[in-house]
Amino acid sequence: MKIKPNQEGQALVMVIFFAAIAMLMILALMYMVYRGTAMSRVQKQYQTALDAGYAGVGISTGFLDSGLYLQIPSSTTKPVYTTPSASSTGATITFPAVGTLQIQNNDSTKCFYNKIFTTLNIATNTWAAPCGANDSTIDPTLNPDFQYAVTGVNTSYYVYTKIVDSRRGLTAQRPPGGLEVARGFSNRTQAQGLSITPQAYFYYTVEVEAQNVKSNGATAETAQISFDYAY
């Protein structure tokens, strides 16, 4: 006696099998779209935090050119400079008007004053008192020299700037601001293996960190920038 195969049952199994494969492909495609959207959002948040960090670089170099005073006006619309969660431990930060950031180095008893006008002691890896070990670490959120917040839409960007090294150039101590000098180094003979001559009064290494802080206080994204600057 012959047993005929159940062709209808086989067809049903095949339909279920291909339907499962199609469902898995759809789920995989939806996951890829979701991950792509999430990564795009994260990248956008990082880029915005990085832009805030570049603003910190611009403010840092602007202040280093003076060494004593810098004021940056802003319109009363967003973004504006506002007081961050904690006061700066270095320069004197004030806001004389809405959206206006003012940075002053007017207290010679602060570590920040020594950072601007004197060189780092390589033996102790810090500057003269009142500077301490935390003032030369590469973490700009630890004893920052200037600190401020830039407000955006439903978020704020906290920017921390810190000088972590300063070396002499043409002079042992930095002269007052307003001097013009060629920046960098020169080797007048163009020969190899000879010592180079500094062409700036002072050299600084600066760390900048920008944090995207949400309205609930949580840090969403962080961008860090390191740069050298010749005065």
Per-residue model confidence (pLDDT) at position 191: 47
Half-sphere exposure at residue 196, Cβ-oriented, CA atoms within 13 angstroms: 10
Which residue type is seen at 152? Answer: G
CB atoms within 10 A of CB 67: 18
pLDDT at 42: 63
* Position 3 pLDDT exceeds 80: no
Question: pTM for this structure?
Answer: 0.70
pLDDT digits (tens, 9 = 90+) for 135-146: 889 999 888 888
| Averaged pLDDT of the chain | 76
Residue 207: predicted pLDDT: 92
User: N- to C-terminal Cα distance for the chain?
Assistant: 102
Question: Rounded distance, CA 112 to CA 85, Å?
Answer: 20
Distances (CA, A) of 73 to 77, 101, 102, 108, 157: 12, 6, 8, 26, 17
Cα separation, 201 vs 190, whole angstroms:
22
The answer on pLDDT for 81 being more than 60 is: yes
Residue 41 is predicted with a pLDDT of 67
Q: What's the pLDDT score for residue 88?
A: 62
In this prediction, residue 79 carries a pLDDT of: 62
